[in-house]
Each structure stands twice: as structure tokens, then as C-alpha cells.
Amino acid sequence: MLYTEEIFECIESAEHINTMLKHSNAYHEYRDSYIEIAQNEDVQQLKRDFLKIKMQYEEVQRFGRYHPDYTKIMMETRKRKKAYDMHPDVILFKQKETHLQQLLDEIITIVAQAISNEVKVERGNPFFVDHICSSGCGCS
């Protein structure tokens, strides 16, 4: 790829947007929440417990229902995942993460639509999209 002055200007503009994002409230709230769960021993223990059972879950998945501990491991995996996901600090972190992802999606969409309405953009988590048309194309 041949780098031209225009490409360098685009890269500089992207770096400027990156700097603006790192100074945004959404980013600071996300980062603070990330640090909070990283330093919270209860959350880390729940995460370790989940990851430990997840390794057993992956072993059980190799054999499926034929594994002797299939039901026990499946239930324990769900239980530990729920315990981790329902911790108040983890819930807050995931909310902040989703908010930051929505901001990034909005920026990407604005840039893409400035080029053309036909440009397809991969956006965040499809389960959290407010509207999906019946064709399944993922537009919103």
C-alpha cells in the first residue's frame, strides 16, 4: 500500500478521535469500573471459580451427555457464571462497557454514512440492537 498525504491525514484524524475518546466520560467510567473489578477480591474469586469449572465444562463437552458428570458440571458452570455475572460490580462494569461500545458504534456509523449509506458496518452486540428489520440484515 502506498501511503499518501491523504492517508497520513486520515490516520492523524483517527488518532485525534482516539484522544477525544480517551478523555470522554464514557471511557473514564469504563476504565474506573474495570479497575474496580480487577482489584475486588470477591469478584476475582468468583471469576477464578468460574474459569476453573469452565475447564471441566470444556472437558465434558468433548463427550457430551455420555460423560458421567455431564449434568453436575453443566449445572455448576451455570451457577458459577450467574454468581459472577450478578455481582453488583460486574453488572456495573458491563453497563459501562455497553455504553462505551454504543459510543464507538455511533462514531463508526457516522464515519461510514459520511462515505455512503451503502457501507455496511459491524456494530456491537446484536442482542442489544434496538431495532432489526425482518430481512435479518442487522440494520437499525
- Domain chopping of the chain, boundaries: 37-96
Q: Mind listing the pLDDT tens digit for each residue in 22-42?
A: 999 999 999 999 999 999 999
Q: Concatenated DSSP letters for 98-118?
A: HHHHHHHHHHHHHHHHHH-TT
At 91-138, the pLDDT tens digits run 999 999 999 999 999 999 998 898 888 888 887 666 555 544 444 555
**Torsion (CA) 123, 127, 133, 139 in degrees, nearest 10:** 0
The proportion of the chain whose per-residue pLDDT surpasses 90, expressed as a percent, equals: 66
∠ Cα 100 102 107 (to 5°) = 95
The whole-number pLDDT of residue 116 equals: 87
DSSP for 32-81, please give it. HHHHHHHH-HHHHHHHHHHHHHHHHHHHHHHHGGGSTTHHHHHHHHHHHH
CB 113 within 8 A of CB 90: no
| Average pLDDT score over the chain | 88
Task: Give the mean pLDDT of 53-75.
Answer: 92
pLDDT of residue 137: 56
